Structures are given as structure tokens and as C-alpha cells.
Amino acid sequence: GDSVTQMEGPVTLSEEAFLTINCTYTATGYPSLFWYVQYPGEGLQLLLKATKADDKGSNKGFEATYRKETTSFHLEKGSVQVSDSAVYFCAPQLAGGTSYGKLTFGQGTILTVHP
């Protein structure tokens, strides 16, 4: 079945450090790929997405590239801020059949950024 393996946390960084959160997936076909962020006490927000191979999604300084050959969608940011402290979820979205539109969430990675 479809699954997502996401880098386990928690991840603790100092402000302005480089961030990488790994995400790999198994799925039939070519899913769209999403990263969601959940700030403390809030619901999920879309951070970025990529819908086909080699696409790069970017938002708020975060980037992730759709790597078909390695079935990966690693999240990166060159310089994190305290306000980036949150939980990050990788989520491929199935593209067709009876499971159309379903998101499969990774386990989430808690990021804490210290001043």
C-alpha cells in the first residue's frame, strides 16, 4: 500500500541554521506531493506543493523538489527563524482510482528553533 516515511524528530535548531526534513514515499503512479505545517494550537496549512517530477515547490523560504527517481520530497530552508517552530507533515496525494484525492500523511516532524 501507499506509505510515507518522514524524518523523525524532534529537530532542534538555532536561528539561521539550515534545515532539512527528509520525506520518501511509496505509491502507485505519480502522486502530487505536499508539505503541510501545523503551528501550535492551530490546524494544518499548506506550505508548498509539487505536482510532477522535477517540480520545485517553494514558499516562505522553504523548498522541496519532486524527485521521481528516488521517490523523495525533502523539505529544506536555508535559514530558519524562531517563527518556523511547528510540526511539518509530508503528504503525497493519490492521483486516481477510488482513492482519488486522498492524502497520506507522514508521522510529522516537530521543529523547534531557538534564538
Partner 1 sequence: GAVVSQHPSRVICKSGTSVKIECRSLDFQATTMFWYRQFPKQSLMLMATSNEGSKATYEQGVEKDKFLINHASLTLSTLTVTSAHPEDSSFYICSASSENEQFFGPGTRLTVL
Site residues (vs partner 1, CB under 8 A): 32, 36, 42-46, 49, 89, 93, 98, 101-108, 110
Which residue, 70 or 98, has its beta carbon nearer to partner 1? 98
Q: How far is CA 31 from the centre of its chain?
A: 14
Cα–Cα distances (Å) from 43 to 23, 66, 78, 112, in that order, read 21, 25, 25, 18
Distance CA 48, CA 59 (A): 6
Which residue, 78 or 97, has its beta carbon nearer to partner 1? 97
Residue 86 CB, nearest approach to partner 1 (Å) = 13
Q: Which amino acid is at 48?
A: L
Q: Is 29 helix (H, G, I), strand (E, B) or coil?
A: coil
Which residue, 90 or 113, has its beta carbon nearer to partner 1? 90
Which residue, 24 or 104, has its beta carbon nearer to partner 1? 104
Distance CA 86, CA 66 (A): 22
Residue 16 CB, nearest approach to partner 1 (Å) = 27
Residue 11 CB, nearest approach to partner 1 (Å) = 14
